[in-house]
Structure 1
Amino acid sequence: MVKVNHYRVVARFARLFPDPAVFEDQDHLVERYLTQSGLLREKASYLYQNEDEIIPVDDSGKPAVASGTASFRFQGKNIIAEFMPNASLAVEYYDFGTGLSPEDHARMWKKQHIGEMAFQVRDFAHETRTLNVTNISELYEIMKKQGQATSLSSIELATMPEDLFRVTVAYLKSQLRESAGEDALEVEVYAARDLSASERSSLEKRLTRESTGSTVYVILSKPSQLMKIETR
Structure 2
Amino acid sequence: MTDETTDSTESAVDPVSEPAAPPRRLRLLLSVAAVVLMADVVTKVLAVKMLTPGQPVSIIGDTVTWTLVRNSGAAFSMATSYTWVLTLIASSVVLGIIWMSRRLVSPWWAVGLGMILGGALGNLVDRFFRAPGHLQGHVVDFLSIGWWPVFNVADPAVVGGAILLVGLSVFGFDFDTVGRRQVNRADDDAERSDAEEPRQVSAAGDGEQS
Q: TM-score, normalised by structure 2?
A: 0.22
Which structure features the higher share of strand residues?
A: 1
Q: TM-score, normalised by structure 1?
A: 0.21
Which structure features the higher share of helix residues?
A: 2
Larger Rg: 2
